[in-house]
Amino acid sequence: MFRLLGCSIKSFCENFKKYIVFEFIVIIFTSFIWVPILTYIYKMLLRWMGASTYYNKEVYQAAMSYKGLVGIIVIFILCVIIVFVEAGVLIVISQKQYFNQEVDVLNSLLFVLKRVPKLFGLSIFQIVPFFMLIILPLNLNFMKIIQEKINLPILITSQLNGSKIYLILNIIILFLCIYLFIRSIFTIHFIVIKGLKGSKAMLSSIRITRKNEIRIFVYLIIFNIVVFFIGITSIYLLTGFIKWFMDSITNPLVSNYALTLSSYITYLLVILIMPINVIFVTNLFYYFTCQKEEPIDEVMLKSHPQLMKIENKVIQFFESRKYLFSFVVVIYLTIMFLFNYSYTEKIFNWDIVVAAHRGYHLAPENSISSIRESIELGVEVIEIDVQISKDGVLVLNHDRTLKRVAGKDERVADLNYSIIKDIYIGFKNSYLDEKIPTLEEALLEIDKKAKVIIDIKNYGSDQEMAEKIVELVERNNMIDDTYIQSFDQKILKEIRSINPEIKIGAILYASIGNLSLLDVDFYTIHQYMLSDAFVKNTHKLNREVWVWTVNLDENIREVLKYRVDGIITDYPERVHEILIE
C-alpha cells in the first residue's frame, strides 16, 4: 500500500508540469469549444421541442417526451466522450510513467481518440449510467456546469436534514454508488490499455475487483487523505507566510490580493485531484492485474514527428519566456483581483430583504396574528397565500383544502365565504379564536407597516381573481409595497394587463431555456436553483431574485453568499442574527 502511495506521488512530482499543462488545455477546450457546442445543441433541441423556455412541471414533461429523452441521451453521450478522453489521456501518461517511458500529450490524445468507438454499441447503455452516476461527478469541469443549475451545498444539506426514511434511502444510494464505483473502477483502463469494448471492460473490472472491494476503498481513502493533507498543509504554509508578510502592511488592497492569490492556488490543487488519482488507480490496475506475471506495456503509441515538433515548440516557447509568462499570470491575477474586489465591495454595500413565510412561524400561518407579530418583530416583508372562495371572496390559505389548518377536508374554491369566515385555525390558548382572514383584512393589518408578497394559489378563474387582487391593492394604496407571485403565468399576465405598475414574479423550482422571455419583474426560485450565473443573468435584466423557503442555518449562510434581493423564510429573526454575525 505505502509503496503504491509513494510511487504515485513520486510519478506525479516527476511530471506535474505535464499534468498541469494538460488540465489547463482541457479547461480552455471546455470553456471555449465544448461548452459553446453543448449550448448550441441545447438550444437546437429546445427549438426542435417547440419552445424556448420550460419551467417547473413543464421541465419534467419535456424531459420525459421522446424528443427530450433523445436530447438528454445526445448531451450525455457527448459528456461521456469528453470525460473519457480526458481520463484516457491521463491514463496513457500515467501508464507510460509506470514503464518509465517518455510520452507526449498530443500522441496520447490521438491514441485515446481511436479508443472512443469502443464505447459504442450495446455497451453504451452500460457505460453511460456508469459515467452519469460516478465518473462525471468527479470531473471538475462537469461539476462547474452542474453548479450553474443546482446549488449542491444546499441540496446536500437539505437531504441530510430530511426525514429519517429519506436520509436512510440517500445513504443506501450513496453506498450503492460507492460500491458500483469500486467494482467498475478499472473500466476505462481496460478500454484504453487493453483495447476492450465497454461491456467487456466493465465485466473485467468487476472480475478483478471481486473480494477486493474493501481493500481498494481503503487504499483510495488513505491515498486521498494523504493528498488532502499535503494540499492543506501547502495552503496553510502559504497563508501563514502571507499573514506574516502582511503584519507590516495594513493596506486592504494588498491583503485582498494575497487572498485572491491563495484562492487561485487552491483552485489549482483542486484541478490536480483527478490526475493524481488517475496515477494511483493506474498503479492499482497493474497491482491487481499482474500479481502472477510481469506487466507488459500494451499501449503502442505511433510516432508522429510533426505533432511532437509542435508540442516541443510550444514547450520551448513557454520555457524560453518564463518571465513573460509569469508577468502575464501576475497581470491576469491583478485584473481578476480588481474585478473580484469591486464585486465584493458591491456585495458588502447591498441590502437583502427578509420575508416572513406565511407570517410569524409561532402563530397560525396566514392569520392576522401571524401578520401582526411579524410586523412587531420588524420584518420588512410578509408573504401570504391567497385563494378565492366559491362566491368570489379572496381569503388567505395555502393548501387546496382546509384539512391541515382546520381539520376540514374541503376545498376553499367549493365553499362560500359565509362558511369560511367562521372556520377556526387557532391551535394555542392565545390563538384559539383565530379565523381565516380575507386578503382585504390582511392588507388593512399591514397598512404600509411592511411590504407584502401575495402568493396566488389559483384554483378558479384567472381573470376574476386577478381583477379582485389588483382592485384591493389599488384601494389600499399599496402598489409600491406589493409583490405578486405565482406558479401560474396566465394569472400573472392578467395582472400585468390590468396594472403594469404592480411587481409580478414567477415561482420556479426548475427551468430550462431562456427565462428572459417571461414578462416578470422578479423570480422566486427554490433554493436548489441558486447560482452565481442565475443571479448575474437576472440582474442584467433588471429583475430581482428571491429565494424560498430557506430555514436551515447552513442554507441561510449559503444563500447569503449570493447577491440575492430577498429571502423567504419561516425564521426571519434567524436570518437577521446570521447577517450581523
CB 402 within 8 A of CB 410: yes
C-alpha to C-alpha distance for 486 and 488, rounded to whole angstroms: 5
Say how many C-beta atoms besides its own lie within 10 A of residue 528's C-beta. Answer: 17
C-alpha to C-alpha distance for 97 and 103, rounded to whole angstroms: 8
CA angle 200, 205, 211 (to 5 degrees): 135
Specify the pLDDT at position 522: 98
C-alpha to C-alpha distance for 435 and 352, rounded to whole angstroms: 32
Specify the pLDDT at position 350: 58
Specify the pLDDT at position 216: 92
Q: Is 558 helix (H, G, I), strand (E, B) or coil?
A: helix
Please enumerate, as own/partner, the contacts of 250-259 that have beta carbons within 8 Å and a separation of 24 or more: 253/341, 256/337, 256/340, 256/341, 256/344, 257/333, 257/334, 257/337
Give the single-character DSSP code of 30.
I
Exposure string of 430-464, with b = 16+ CB inside 10 Å and e = fewer, is ebeebbbbbbbbbbebbeeebbbbbbbbbebebee
The CB-side HSE value for 215 (13 A sphere, CA atoms) comes to 9
Residue 7 C-alpha cell reads as 510511487
C-alpha to C-alpha distance for 522 and 541, rounded to whole angstroms: 10
Residue 469 C-alpha cell reads as 387582487
Query: Residue 432: which residues within 8 A CB-CB, separation 6 or more?
Result: 424, 426
Specify the pLDDT at position 184: 87
Specify the pLDDT at position 7: 83
C-alpha to C-alpha distance for 74 and 3, rounded to whole angstroms: 42
Specify the pLDDT at position 453: 98
CB 253 within 8 A of CB 5: no
**Bridge-based pairing state of the strands 544-548 and 451-456:** unpaired
Give the single-character DSSP code of 424.
B
Residue by residue, pLDDT tens for the chain (581 residues) are 678 778 888 888 887 777 877 877 887 887 788 878 888 888 888 888 877 788 888 888 888 888 888 888 888 788 788 888 888 999 999 999 889 888 778 888 889 999 988 887 655 555 666 565 555 555 555 556 666 667 767 777 776 666 678 778 878 888 888 888 889 889 899 999 999 988 888 889 999 999 899 999 999 999 888 888 887 787 677 666 655 665 555 555 555 555 555 666 666 676 778 888 889 999 999 999 887 778 888 888 877 677 667 766 766 666 666 666 666 666 765 666 555 555 555 544 457 999 999 999 999 999 999 999 999 999 999 999 999 999 999 999 999 999 999 999 999 999 999 999 999 999 877 888 899 999 999 999 999 899 999 999 987 677 899 999 999 999 999 999 999 999 999 999 999 999 999 999 999 998 888 899 999 999 999 998 998 889 999 999 999 999 999 999 999 999 998 989 999 999 999 999 998 87
Specify the pLDDT at position 155: 72
**How many helices and strands in the chain, by DSSP H and E?**
26, 13
Say how many C-beta atoms besides its own lie within 10 A of residue 297's C-beta. Answer: 12
Residue 194 C-alpha cell reads as 487493453
